[in-house]
Amino acid sequence: MNPSRRHILALGGSLCTVLLAPRRVLAAPVELIEMRGTARGESVWFAPRGLAVAPGTVLRFVNRDKGNSHTATAYHPEIFDRARRIPAAATPWDSDFLLPDESFEVTLTEPGVYDFYCIPHEMSGMVGRIVVGTPDAPRWESAAGPSDDVSQTVLDALPPVEEILSRGRIEEDTR
Amino acid sequence: MKLSTAVLAIAAMTFTGPALAQTKDAMMTSPPGDPYVQVSDVLPLPEFLPGLGTLFVDPGTLPAGPFLSYDHDGKLSATVYMTPLEELQNGTAYDGLSLGADTVTGVDIYYNAGHPGVEAPHAHVVLFHDDGAKGRLAE
């Protein structure tokens, strides 16, 4: 091996180290939330519908329902003028309609409870709840209570925060 | 949401031809022509819905339809009606609905939790027009 080639290889190795190391450091945890439905659309749901994550976690919503489109939309006045059900300091999100196999990502950094829904299926109780961090975290914001803005169907479908924190994730268990 | 219905209504207005009733022959193959619009062109839904095929509807007939259902080869295979349960419970009747074809070989009725265009929980009433229709619309 001549010196110039050795130098090139060494330089390449150094570059790889430099390029790869920061990615390991910066990589945020990613959690998958699937949008699912039965073949004929009798039932639709988020899986999981309750999830506890650390601040900074990336949520990836993926539509696994071959016969329907879905959204993951935060309850927030900036989006369809809904009552806020995410922490005050959090940025609201709306995935828009996802066709089968399409996906959308959002990163949640503010500690607290986030409720979200599927625009065309909220009436059927297709909602979910994410708990970011724990109640002892600074700026923690608890779950929003009942309001005229959401139906009893929605409230019944949202898992209790305590259950999400104790179990980590709550899958739809009635399908 | 009402938004989706509004989108369909706007889409309908863009079709400037007179809303002539299509003859049954014209509706046997896709596209059926005015006043029908392809549902996936105006709403965020897959072009081919497993179990329902490729749907066309006259927006003026929403929510009940009829929705004309075509297989992968563009053959009219079923006529579908979508009737919101709450409206039925509140006394709304959907009478005198038209058919895509006169021959009906089978009927399926089942619950649907909603989808863009007809978000309220409703019943799908599917009238198949030949013996192989259900199989062709399945996937």
- Confidence at residue B60, expressed as pLDDT on a 0 to 100 scale: 93
**What are the distances in angstroms from CA A98 to CA A31, A63, B4, B120?**
18, 6, 15, 19
3-state secondary structure at position A105: strand
Can you list the residues of chain A whose pLDDT is less than 50?
Answer: 1-3, 8-21, 23, 174-175
Residue B26: pLDDT band (50, 70, 90) is: confident
User: Is the pLDDT reported for residue B20 higher than 70?
Assistant: no
Asked if the interface predicted TM-score (ipTM) of this complex is over 0.90, the answer is: no
Residues from chain B that touch A39, judged by Cβ atoms under 8 A, are 50-51
- Confidence at residue B11, expressed as pLDDT on a 0 to 100 scale: 44
Shortest distance, CA A15 to any CA of chain B (angstroms): 45
Q: Which range of residues forms the domain containing residue A57?
A: 28-170
Query: Residue A146 and residue A5: Cα distance in Å, rounded?
Result: 69
Contacts of B93 (CB under 8 A, 6+ apart): none
CATH number at residue B123: 3.30.200.270
Domain annotation covers residue B23:
no
A41, A43, A66: residue with CB nearest B115: A41
B5 Cβ under 8 Å from any chain A Cβ: no
Domain annotation covers residue A16:
no
Domain annotation covers residue A156:
yes
Q: Express each pLDDT in B40-79 by its tens digit.
A: 999 999 999 999 999 999 999 999 999 999 999 999 999 9
Q: Which range of residues forms the domain containing residue B72?
A: 2-15+29-138
Number of domains in chain B: 1
CATH number at residue A109: 2.60.40.420
Domain annotation covers residue A149:
yes
Domain annotation covers residue A21:
no
Report H helices in B15-132.
24-27, 39-42, 85-89
* Amino acid identity, position B134: K
Q: Which of A75, A82, A84, A68 is nearest to A128 (CA)?
A: A75
B121/A124 CB distance under 8 A: yes
DSSP B25: H
Which of A 129-158 lie inside 8 A of B, CB atoms? none
Number of domains in chain A: 1
Q: Express each pLDDT in B74-116 by its tens digit.
A: 999 999 999 999 999 999 999 999 999 999 999 999 999 999 9
